[in-house]
């Protein structure tokens, strides 16, 4: 059982591979320390959850985003996608990876209030 809960809010997508990858580096590191991690993708970060999108995102010196994303989900991370953000980008749930959920501000507020720490990228 996780000892602590971390919420990571990510707002950067494929336009900046390093900033898109760093939240997942932190997330998987915290998961390996038995922390519960909730990832909330907003703004252009929602595109990272599209099937196949993470496959080509690589930042020098960091693990490939695809590997980190797969590890995050395999380690039972929770991933929420901002509902207005995916709507604006024409992304449907058929387009996204398994396990991702759509959520709005109320869910984010609840997760933030229940977390020990919150980090925004």
What pLDDT does 95 receive? 97
* CB proximity list for 72: less than 8 A, separation 6 or greater: 24, 27, 28, 31, 37, 39, 79
For residue 7, CA distances in Å to 4, 13, 52, 61, 76 come to 10, 18, 24, 24, 14
What pLDDT does 76 receive? 96
* CB proximity list for 110: less than 8 A, separation 6 or greater: none
**Model confidence, pTM:** 0.94
pLDDT at 111 over 60: yes
19: its two tokens: 């900033």
60: its two tokens: 């020098």
Instruction: Select the CATH number that applies to the domain covering 5-120 from these four: 3.40.50.300, 3.90.1150.10, 3.30.930.10, 3.40.1260.10.
Output: 3.40.1260.10
> pLDDT-derived band of residue 1, with 50, 70 and 90 as boundaries?
very low
The 10s digit of each residue's pLDDT in 28-64 is 999 999 999 999 999 999 999 999 999 999 999 999 9
């Amino acid at each position: 059982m996780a000892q602590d809960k971390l919420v990571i809010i990510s707002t950067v997508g494929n336009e900046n591979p390093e900033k898109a990858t760093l939240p997942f580096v932190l997330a998987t590191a915290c998961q390996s320390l038995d922390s519960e991690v909730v990832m909330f993708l907003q703004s252009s970060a929602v595109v990272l959850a599209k099937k196949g999108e993470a496959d080509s995102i690589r930042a020098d010196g960091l693990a490939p985003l695809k590997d980190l994303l797969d590890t995050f989900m395999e380690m039972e991370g929770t991933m929420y996608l901002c509902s207005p953000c995916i709507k604006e980008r024409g992304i449907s749930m058929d387009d996204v990876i398994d396990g991702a959920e759509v959520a709005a501000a109320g869910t984010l507020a609840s997760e933030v209030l229940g977390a020990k720490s919150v980090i925004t990228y």
